[in-house]
Amino acid sequence: MHLRQAYVADWNRPKRLAEVVRGTRAGFLTMLRAVLRLAGRPAPADSAALVRDAAALIGFATEGITEPAAYLDAVTRTAEYVNRLERNPS
C-alpha cells in the first residue's frame, strides 16, 4: 500500500521513486523467498536467481524490474498470488 502511495505521490520524481524501490527491496526479496517456500520450491540465495524463479512461478516480468512501474507490478502480482494462496489453501 505504501509503495502504491509513493508511486502516485512521486510519479514525476524519478529519483525519489528509485529511492523508494531501493528502500523496499529487502522486504520484497524476503516475500519472494517465502512465496517460493510456500509453493514447495527452493529459494535461491542469489537475488537474481530468486527473482527469476519467483517471477516464473508468480507471473511477473523480470525485465526492467528495477524501474518503479515494473517493480510495482511485480509487488502487486506477488501480493495477489499470496492472496490466492490464502483463499485456496491446499
Can you give the residue ranges of every domain in the chain? 2-87
pLDDT digits (tens, 9 = 90+) for 21-43: 788 899 999 999 999 999 999 99
* Cβ proximity of 33 and 27 under 8 Å: no
Question: What string of H, E and C letters represents the secondary structure of the chain?
Answer: CHHHHHHHHHCCCHHHHHHHHHHHHHHHHHHHHHHHHHCCCCCCCCHHHHHHHHHHHHCCCCCCCCCHHHHHHHHHHHHHHHHHHHHCCC
Task: State the average pLDDT over residues 49-69.
Answer: 94
Cβ-based neighbours of 40, under 8 Å, separated by 6 or more: none
Split at pLDDT 50, 70, 90, the class of 17 is confident
